[in-house]
Chains A and B, each alone.
Chain A
Amino acid sequence: MNSSMDLSVVLAGPHHTLRLKNPVMTASGTFGYGAEFAPYGDLTQLGGIVVKGLSLQPREGNPCPRIAETTGGMLNAVGLQNDGVETFCKRKLPHLPWRELPVVANLYATSPEEFGDLAARLDEEEGIAALEVNVSCPNVKEGGILFGQDPDLAAAVTRAVRDKAPRKPVIVKLSPNVTDITRMAKAVEAAGADMISCINTLSGMAVDVATRRPRLANVIGGLSGPAIKPVALRCVWQTARAVSIPVIGIGGIVSAEDVLEFILVGAHAVQIGTGNFLSPDCAFSIVSELPAACARLGVSSLEELRGSLRLKD
């Protein structure tokens, strides 16, 4: 029913616009390079794919155990293991259906200069639709969360990427591990971000009482999954009201209903992360269930719904 409903979204930033056939993207670090999930659904039906975080040089990441299941969620301290941007561009990107759907690169670096170099390299790639700047990874010793907690540093990183990747929309991914996310949002907006995605994981830990050991070798990791959805909604709500650029909501989304919650608080699009682990066809199912979920609310487009949270009777 209503499968012909137009779910397309336009994320219009001050410099560039990102057009998606529907608002359902997959979140960085949870969907590999796309191909891993190809057996479970048609990748081209998704709104977009954000690939695993890339750095200039290959990174080994953190020691194992680097993931742990917690109630309603999971912790990870993978530490941005990746083969580096060159290997990605040569070996992975050509296998992604980038002509059919936007493939977004997620960038991680340890200084604004390095972010700029990485952005410049990806700016050359026709197959990359946008850059998502990770100023918020809690799982690496250097950089990461530092950029995500200091508005000036986050702005410097945003500017470096904006300047070096003039052809691509720039998405800045914000951390919830701050006192006031709107300060960060305004800072990156002023520095030239086209859009904001939030939230990255919440800093957390878990303990095995029997062995008296932390469940992650890194001790601290990032919490994701349904457990963090209320925090994510609150952050998206605050951010969408504080800035005029589009916001992509991330955090604990596992159903079409969850997507609509994020749209209601002002998100233009969403990313599915830990949901991909509940079932490898999670993102595909959400796309197919979205028209019916909209129909149940009596809306014929997401535009009608966006930011329409009722605050008064």
Chain B
Amino acid sequence: MSTPPSSSLLTVLDLVPFGQTGGESRYFALRISRPDWENWRPGQFVMLRPLSFGLEMPWARPFGICHMTTRHMICFFQVVGRGTRRMAELKAGDKIRVWGPLGNGFAVEPETPTLLLAGGMGIVPFVGYVARHPNPWNVSMLFGHRDPLSCYPVDSINEHVTLDTLQETVPGDLDNFIYTLQERIREYAEQKGLVLACGPLPFLKTVRSLALQYGARTQLSLENRMACGVGACLGCVTRTTKEWPVSEKREGLVQVCNHGPVFWAEQIEL
């Protein structure tokens, strides 16, 4: 059923800056040649390691798969550290070591009203999700962000589903966003819908507590520091609750990379 991961050396096709406003862009869509996987699921990720990292930066970096076509794969990233700074210098023709598809991916329930909640870069895996959902009219999205909308791949979401956006520019905006989250989660809980969330940790904590409060079926996509992406280094562990399906791992530690990155809200602590 699920495609086994593989490792390959792929070629950069192009690197497109997003939201450029005169200054240096911090947001990029990276298009690379398509890996030879048969299939993938939205919410899965890849480990990317440009050859230009040399021996100076030994780790690959995990990135959610933004989208894939028959010809290429797109990853979307924000420059946050030395790895992504180096990646912002990638050019067409450069080589990248890529392994994946990794992790489990989001639930897809075609007949269930589905609410996507994205915070900032958390929008990335939903690009592929809405493009591949069989009944996009059952899907809607709420997107909270700090930088201008042009920094994010929103157009590819808009094509498929209803998108509400809220930009946080002054402190009061956050309260407004949380209030909106609360209303939407309550609404989806009442109609027995599915809620999927991806974004920074404080955002996921808020979504999780609201989901548990209203009893909304909710999945959270976590991100974490990873060295291997395959379950070996034990760097990315997160704590489970007593709801975890495997008894010996209840209230224990599981790797985000190969037990997630998508988890049911009630099965993990945050």
Task: Please pick, from B59, B237, B248, B258, the residue contacting A69 in the complex, using a CB distance under 8 A.
Answer: B59
Query: Chain B residues with Cβ under 8 A from A268's Cβ?
Result: none
Q: Using an 8 Å CB-CB cutoff, how does the interface string of B35-69 with A read, 1 for contact, 0 for none?
A: 00000000000000100000111111000000000
- Selecting from B84-92, B127-135, B225-233, the interface stretch reads B225-233
A residues less than 8 Å from B224 (CB atoms)? 64
Given A277-B228, A279-B97, check contact A225 B58 (CB 8 Å): yes
B152 lies within 8 A of chain A by Cβ: no
Asked if residues A280 and B252 are in contact (CB atoms below 8 Å), the reply is: no
For A36, list chain B residues within 8 Å (CB). Answer: 228, 230-232, 258
Bits for B233-264, please: 1 = Cβ < 8 Å to A, else 0: 11111000000000010001100001000000
Kindly state the separation between the CA atoms of A132 and B248 in the bound complex, as whole angstroms.
27
Contacting residue for B253 out of A60, A277, A279, CB 8 A = A60
Interface residues on B, range: 20 to 34
Which of A9-17, A70-78, A303-311 is the contact stretch?
Answer: A70-78
Verify if B169 is at the interface (C-beta below 8 Å from A).
Answer: no
The answer to whether the Cβ of B99 comes within 8 Å of any Cβ in the partner chain is yes
Q: Report the bound CA distance from A72 to B53 in whole Å.
A: 10
Assess whether A143 is interfacial by the CB under 8 Å rule.
no
Question: Is A204 engaged at the interface, CB distance under 8 Å to the other chain?
Answer: no
CA distance A277 to B56 in the complex (A): 13
User: Do A277 and B231 touch across chains, with their CB atoms under 8 A apart?
Assistant: no
Q: Which of chain A's residues have a CB closer than 8 A to the CB of B234?
A: 29, 52, 61, 66, 78, 81
| Chain B residues positioned under 8 Å from A277 (CB to CB) | 58-60, 227-228, 233
Give the B-binding residues of A (Cβ under 8 A): 29-32, 36-37, 39-40, 52, 60-61, 64-69, 71-74, 76, 78, 81, 83, 87, 225-226, 254, 274, 276-281
B residues sitting closer than 8 Å to A (CB atoms) are 4-7, 49, 55-60, 83, 97, 99, 224-225, 227-237, 248, 252-253, 258
- Using A31-B232, A61-B234 as known contacts, list a sample of 20 further A-B pairs with CB atoms less than 8 Å apart, ordered by residue number in A: A30-B228, A36-B228, A36-B232, A39-B4, A52-B234, A64-B225, A64-B235, A64-B237, A67-B227, A69-B83, A74-B58, A78-B234, A226-B55, A276-B228, A277-B58, A277-B228, A278-B97, A279-B7, A280-B228, A281-B7
